[in-house]
Chain A
Amino acid sequence: MAERRINNMEKIRTAVAQDLLSGRIDLLLGWEKGLYWWQSRPLFARNSEDLQRLTWDSFCVANLSGYLQEELKENKKIGILLKGCDSRALNRLVQDQMVDRERVVAYGLPCPGLLDPRLLKQEAGLELTALGIEEGEDRVTLTGTKGKSIAREELLLEKCRRCHHPDPVGCDQLLLPPVGSREDRSRFHQVTRLEEIPAEERFAYWSSQFERCLRCYACREACPCCSCRECFVEQEEPRWLGKAHENSENFIYHLTRAFHSAGRCVECGECQRVCPVELPLMELSSKIIKDINELYGEYQAGLDTEQDPPLLTYQPDDPAAFVE
């Protein structure tokens, strides 16, 4: 396993090095190790020295496509490493005319799912600093815990667990062999559960969640669909929303943010992953996706840039979710 990883790493590095050194791309967006072993952070590689730090492991979670818009202002052509979800985000950005696809070289990395440090910590019962891991094919061994071994599947990030499309789409080249589509096990599991409980309980559930919202807008900043130059929450004219920590305002913020991604959300799960108070934000987008699929036909944003997003088209005999 470890050997395979090293081989993979070499494959990736060789491929991108060629393009970077030949001048096909001016910048490579990838990942490098962070301060700790459970962190991999964005890498902005411009030369072969930078490339030595390039990494691809179970913690390369950040969706790098969010940097494209800004970096394209200063670089002519950018190479970018993309997991399945990241590739859909890039396609989404292209469809929203936010990124000129011609100026991007997309390297796809079929993704086996990434590990959730929070779960590692939980399983080990230890601080992460006192812990290490050894990754096998299907299992992960926690070193520092007398060798506790857990199925890899159990340790995946929430967004990876519900991912059903781990292979990148629309990339210029795939750097690793495809992993194939995953069984869609929990994509709408929680949504269905919430749909079934009485309205009052549902309201209580969301109230207790949104009450904790800090309005830090990390969810918005991480979202590849949130491409507005000035978000509605910050506008003064009109003043759509106040800034106070008031529950109705928090409700409106989250529902509107989710609704603004209706038909556009690529399910990268970054909103939920970056939330400092762990709000279950993916449930809002999943709810909308589930309804789109039910009412207007299966649609996965970011898969096909030629297909009309469901809210920008219609059929004369569309069903309605109200008594007409």
Chain B
Amino acid sequence: MPRIGVFICWCGTNIAGTVEIEQVVNAARSFPGVVYAGDYRYLCSEVGQKLIKDTIKKENLERVVVGTCSPRMHEVTFRKAVAEAGLNPYLLEVANLREHCSWVHKDPAEATPKAIALVRAAVSKASLDEPLTALMLDVEKRALVIGGGIAGIQAALDIADSGYTVDLVEKEPSIGGRMAQLEKTFPTLDCAACILTPKMVEVAQHPNINLLTYSEVEAVSGFVGQFDVRIRSRARSIDPSKCTGCGICYEKCPAKVPSEFDMELGKRKVIYVPFPQAVPNIPVIDRENCLYFKRGRCRICEKECPAEAIDFEQQDEIIERRYGVILVATGFDSMDLTGYGEYGYGQHPDVLSALQFERLFNASGPTAGQVVRLSNGRPPQRVVFIQCVGSRDIARGQNYCSKICCMFTSKQAILLKEKLPETEAYIFYIDLRTAGKGYEEFQRRAAEEYGVIYLRGSVGKVFPEGERLLVRGVDSLSGRPLEIEADLVVLAAASVPRRDAPELARLMSINSDRYNFFDEAHPKLRPVETHTAGIFIAGACQAPKDIPEAVAQAGAAAAKAVTLLSKEKLQSEACVAKVDPARCSGCLHCEAVCPYGAIAATETEERVRGELLTRTVAEVNPALCQGCGCCTMTCRSGSVTLQGYTDEQMLAEVDALCLQR
């Protein structure tokens, strides 16, 4: 039996006011293994810690039990103190006498026996403590940023400026993301391209940024400091070292398909750059639609290219690389409005989503910047905007508020009025949410200066009447039904996570909420970290947000990432699972449930009737194990146990707590 010392803290009157300290100390003296029991007013103070350290030396203590506040509060403090006295820091147990005892039980006659029971359990557990050592892990000084929208761009630039190499992976042929699709930004009406393009160019030119467009993450393994990632860089069918970006290829290409960048309103060529300011300015061949790849004939681009850059034989490139940290900024999609047939979306050419409408303003958009009705090419005389399409819709859509729609709808109404001052703009809203610097003022300008008409209420149906559209709704302030004739109807579709977000979450073992937005580790205190150490999130992949928020979050996530990258070594979890190979039968059920892929099969040798046989057993990788203990639940023979919470210790605690009624 090891020599155990027990220290009971008064915590001023926090514990001592309810728990009879002397009784607890006296009881502790009688517990098996206890060679010292004492108390102090504030154990966490320097003097208190010195008492512990001195007593460890004086009494030759081999295990320490403190009866104090919650271990979630000061376990680290006391572990440090114990370590300073030369003991392994994991030879310490904490009995929670404050949060779980003195603060919740008012009667000393109840609190004192409970305190004694808790100390008894801690002593029982401590007597079975074994020294544990954490591993010191290397940190790969390289970051991976997934997603090349404004958040990913900002994060990559910030990390790169700190001196670390960054790989920025973007699925599309160009970086820029959603912001690149916007004409202007609220509330300043800055031209989106004017503020975004310089950043995109900076990314391309930054010596520390390695840009991987038209690329996707396929596999992630490893752990903080050492993530091993497989990236597929899809074949562009163009040799980037030869391409000059002259654009002759897409001028000459005979095949056209709907343009994703223009939200399918316009057409693009099959060899294309998504938009004129694309970075990199190197086209890709969309092999699914390319006539040569489909039918084996054409190759016009190849004939026309003056640089001989077209390469039909190019293969996808697989990049396998190690990263210290991963930052996820995959952004959002505009919700698919197929379920909203009552607004005529997808049935009538003059019913558009907000992002489609935005493209009409853009000089390089489907109408070359003309705001016209797609049904007849004439400018609209009246436009009705409907907010909260999908957002705040418990029955069919997303329960949440998409946050940016109130503002971008006002912005689009202003842009419309600037372009076509005579055109009327009506906005149906449920509530107007304009929290943000300059936002409320912006919305008021829309109403007061530009004469945009705001109607509180909802729209039940939009249907064609003659050449126009009839919008039928209710004014919820007056309760009166409303009918408005319109030439264009614009739907503020909810912001939803990217379609492949669940797949990415699974690849990286990060959590998502019920809508598939990635979850932060703590909603208030750890807003850009995930539950998986070393993986950070920024931008609209976490929840809908506007540009300034996304940029701020990207900066914060980059700072967190850099903090990690700047460390020489990272300390791993010490309380990790451990397999007893002699007992393990190798069924590997533990491997199936381990959330970190920390368990794998290994071979062990044993002698059977004089012969050396090998057999399979499970093995824990202590660098990967985070110490949850889920493996132990599946192990029928108890061959895998969790250090710091071993089966013996858990049973000892149960026995100790049950010993005293």
Contacts and interface: CB of A to CB of B under 8 A. Distances in A.
Chain A partners chain B:
yes
Interface of A: 73, 96-98, 227-232, 235, 237-240, 260, 308-309, 311-313
Given A232-B636, A238-B648, A227 B613 contact: no
Contacts, number: 52
B589 A228 contact: no
B592 interface: yes
Given A229-B637, A232-B638, A312-B592, 4 more contacts: A73-B613, A227-B587, A229-B585, A231-B637
A269 to B, nearest CB: 20
A238 B651 contact: yes
Contacts of A231: 637
A232 B635 CA distance: 10
Contact of B592 (A229, A235, A237, A308): A308
Interface of B: 582-589, 592-593, 608, 613, 616, 634, 636-639, 646-648, 651
B585 A98 contact: yes
B647 A97 contact: no
A122 B593 CA distance: 49
Given A73-B608, A97-B616, A308-B592, A240 B585 contact: no
Given A98-B585, A232-B637, A240 B651 contact: yes
Contact of B587 (A96, A230, A308): A96
A138 B592 CA distance: 46
Nearest to B591: A312
Given A235-B638, A238-B638, A260-B636, A230 B583 contact: yes
Nearest to B652: A238
A308 B593 CA distance: 11
Contacts of B636: 228, 232, 260
Contacts of A232: 636-638
6 contacts: A96-B587, A98-B586, A229-B583, A229-B585, A235-B638, A238-B646
A65 to B, nearest CB: 15
B120 to A, nearest CB: 18
Contacts of B584: 229
Contacts of A73: 608, 613
A238 B580 CA distance: 13
A313 B634 CA distance: 11
Contacts of A227: 585, 587
A250 B637 CA distance: 18
B258 to A, nearest CB: 35
B510 to A, nearest CB: 15
B638 to A, nearest CB: 6
Q: With a 10 A CB-CB cut-off, give which of A230, A237, A311 has the most chain B CB atoms.
A: A230
A229 B617 CA distance: 11
Contacts of B639: 228-229
A219 to B, nearest CB: 15
Interface of B is mostly: loop
A312 B587 CA distance: 12
A168 to B, nearest CB: 23
B638 A97 contact: no
Contacts of B637: 228-232, 235
A74 B116 CA distance: 58
A240 B587 contact: no
Contacts of A313: 592
B617 to A, nearest CB: 10
Q: With a 10 A CB-CB cut-off, give which of A238, A308, A311 has the most chain B CB atoms.
A: A238
A296 B403 CA distance: 38
In order of increasing CB-CB distance, the 7 nearest A-B pairs are A228-B637, A96-B587, A238-B648, A260-B636, A312-B592, A238-B647, A229-B585
A227 B582 CA distance: 14
A309 B634 CA distance: 12
A92 to B, nearest CB: 10
A311 B634 contact: yes
A237 B648 CA distance: 7
A98 B589 CA distance: 12
A10 to B, nearest CB: 37
A227 B637 CA distance: 9
Q: With a 10 A CB-CB cut-off, give which of B587, B593, B651 has the most chain A CB atoms.
A: B587
Contacts of B582: 229
Contact of B638 (A98, A240, A312): A240
A237 B582 CA distance: 13
Contacts of A96: 585, 587, 589
B124 to A, nearest CB: 12
Contacts of B613: 73
Contacts of A238: 638, 646-648, 651
Nearest to A314: B593
Contacts of B593: 312
A227 B634 CA distance: 14
A324 to B, nearest CB: 16
Nearest to B618: A97
A73 B651 CA distance: 37
A97 B587 contact: yes
Contacts of B585: 96, 98, 227-229
A237 B592 CA distance: 25
Nearest to B636: A260
A96 B651 CA distance: 28
A185 B243 CA distance: 74
Contacts of B648: 237-238
Contacts of B646: 238
Nearest to A226: B636
Nearest to A260: B636
Q: With a 10 A CB-CB cut-off, give which of B584, B585, B608 has the most chain A CB atoms.
A: B585
A73 B585 CA distance: 15
A289 to B, nearest CB: 17
A224 B365 CA distance: 69
Contacts of A240: 638, 647, 651
Contacts of B638: 232, 235, 238, 240
A311 B634 CA distance: 8
A98 B586 CA distance: 7
A312 B589 contact: yes
A313 B587 CA distance: 15
A89 to B, nearest CB: 15
Contacts of A228: 583, 585, 636-637, 639
A230 B582 CA distance: 9
B586 A97 contact: yes
